[in-house]
A and B are shown apart, each in its own frame.
Chain A
Amino acid sequence: MNSRFLFFFFIFPLFTFSQNFYRIKADFTIKQKNADGSSALTVGKVYYDKNYKEIVYDISFPEKEMWITKDTSVYKFVDKKFVSRQTVPAIAEFSIFHLCLNGTLTNYGLESSPYTIYNVEKENGMVLTTWMPPAKMAKFLGKVIVSQKDKKLYGVAMCNIKGETLNKQFYKNYDSNSGIEFPKEIVQITYINGKENYQVTTYENIIIDDYSEEEMYNYPVTAH
Chain B
Amino acid sequence: MKKLNLLLAAMFVLFTASLKASTADLFAYNEQVITAQMTDLTELEKVVKQNEGVTLTELKTKHFANLNLNGVKESSVLGDLFAMRGGDLPLGIPAFVWGCVLGWVGILIVYFVTEDKQETLKALWGCLAWGAVDVIFYIVYVVIILGSAAATTY
In the complex, the answer to whether A62 meets B56 with C-beta atoms within 8 Å is yes
- Does B154 count as interface, using CB distance less than 8 angstroms? no
- Which A residues lie within 8 Å of B26 (CB)? 145, 147, 155, 157, 165, 168
Q: How many residues of B contact A (CB 8 A)?
A: 44
Contact code string B1-43 (vs A, CB < 8 Å = 1, else 0): 0000000000000000000110110110101001001101110
Task: Pick from A59, A88, A200: contact of B85, CB below 8 A.
Answer: A88
Whole-angstrom CA separation of A73 from B79 in the bound complex:
13
In the complex, the answer to whether B85 meets A89 with C-beta atoms within 8 Å is yes
In the complex, the answer to whether B55 meets A43 with C-beta atoms within 8 Å is no
- Does A123 count as interface, using CB distance less than 8 angstroms? yes
In the complex, the answer to whether B24 meets A63 with C-beta atoms within 8 Å is no
Q: Is the interface of A mostly helix, strand, loop or mixed?
A: strand
In the complex, the answer to whether A64 meets B76 with C-beta atoms within 8 Å is no
Q: Given that A168-B27, A189-B29, A199-B77 are known contacts, is A123 also in contact with B38, CB under 8 Å in the complex?
A: no
In the complex, the answer to whether A86 meets B87 with C-beta atoms within 8 Å is yes
- Which A residues lie within 8 Å of B53 (CB)? 60, 64
Contact code string A111-127 (vs B, CB < 8 Å = 1, else 0): 00000000001011010
- Which B residues lie within 8 Å of A189 (CB)? 29, 34
Q: Given that A87-B86, A123-B24, A154-B27 are known contacts, is A33 also in contact with B38, CB under 8 Å in the complex?
A: yes
> B138 CB to closest chain A CB, in angstroms?
34
Q: Given that A33-B37, A87-B116, A165-B26 are known contacts, is A39 also in contact with B73, CB under 8 Å in the complex?
A: yes
Whole-angstrom CA separation of A39 from B75 in the bound complex:
10
- Which B residues lie within 8 Å of A177 (CB)? none
Q: How many residues of A contact B (CB 8 A)?
A: 50
Interface residues of A in 22-75 (CB under 8 A from B): 29-33, 37-43, 57, 59-65, 67, 69, 72-74
- Does B140 count as interface, using CB distance less than 8 angstroms? no
- Which B residues lie within 8 Å of A72 (CB)? 87, 115-116
In the complex, the answer to whether B76 meets A198 with C-beta atoms within 8 Å is no
In the complex, the answer to whether B87 meets A76 with C-beta atoms within 8 Å is no
In the complex, the answer to whether A198 meets B56 with C-beta atoms within 8 Å is no
> A85 CB to closest chain B CB, in angstroms?
7
- Which A residues lie within 8 Å of B44 (CB)? 41
In the complex, the answer to whether B76 meets A168 with C-beta atoms within 8 Å is no
- Which B residues lie within 8 Å of A101 (CB)? none
In the complex, the answer to whether A88 meets B82 with C-beta atoms within 8 Å is yes
In the complex, the answer to whether B40 meets A39 with C-beta atoms within 8 Å is yes
Whole-angstrom CA separation of A89 from B82 in the bound complex:
10
Task: Pick from A29, A37, A59, A73: contact of B71, CB below 8 A.
Answer: A37
In the complex, the answer to whether A187 meets B34 with C-beta atoms within 8 Å is yes
* Chain B residue with Cβ nearest A89: B85
Q: 5 smallest A-B Cβ distances: which pairs?
A: A62-B56, A87-B87, A86-B86, A123-B24, A40-B73
Can you identify 28 A-B contacts, CB atoms within 8 angstroms? A29-B45, A32-B41, A33-B37, A37-B71, A38-B71, A39-B72, A39-B73, A40-B73, A40-B75, A40-B76, A40-B77, A41-B41, A41-B44, A43-B45, A60-B52, A61-B76, A62-B72, A62-B76, A63-B55, A67-B78, A86-B87, A87-B87, A88-B85, A145-B23, A154-B27, A157-B27, A189-B29, A200-B34
Query: A: which residues have CB within 8 A of B?
Result: 29-33, 37-43, 57, 59-65, 67, 69, 72-74, 76, 85-89, 121, 123-124, 126, 128, 130, 145, 147, 154-155, 157, 165, 168, 170, 187, 189, 198-200
